[in-house]
Every structure is written in C-alpha cells, then in structure tokens.
Amino acid sequence: MINISVSARSLAAARAIDPDVSPAAVRAAVEVAIAEHLRELKRSRDAGRVDPTRSAE
C-alpha cells in the first residue's frame, strides 16, 4: 500500500486549474494515476515474458 499526502504545492497547482478543487479530489486523482501507472508497468513486464512451457522455435 502506498501512503499519499497532498503537498501545498500540489494543491496550489491543482487550484490554478480549478479554484474549488479539494485536497481529497487531488489525492484521489493521484491515486488513480499511480494505479494506472503500475498497471501499465505490469502489462509491459508481462508482454516481455517468455512462456517457459513453449519452445523457442
């Protein structure tokens, strides 16, 4: 599990785009982005794996 805290700088950057954004919304967006990034890394690793049960013909 990853512990995420929203820095004042991150919140200020988000509020430059949407002045009414809450810290909870910024945190949720970061969690979604991290989860997607981790899924993409897993997909990349899995795509490069060789099935040891298949011959290398």
Look up residue 38 and give its two tokens.
């981790």
Residues composing the chain: 57
Distance separating alpha carbons of residues 57 and 49, to the nearest angstrom: 16
Model pLDDT for residues 4-21, shown as the tens digit of each residue: 778 889 889 999 999 999
Tens of pLDDT, residue by residue over 17-47, are 999 999 999 989 888 988 999 999 998 888 8
SS3 content of the chain, % helix, strand, coil (to 5): 65, 0, 35
pTM above 0.85, yes or no: no
**Is 54's pLDDT higher than 80?**
no
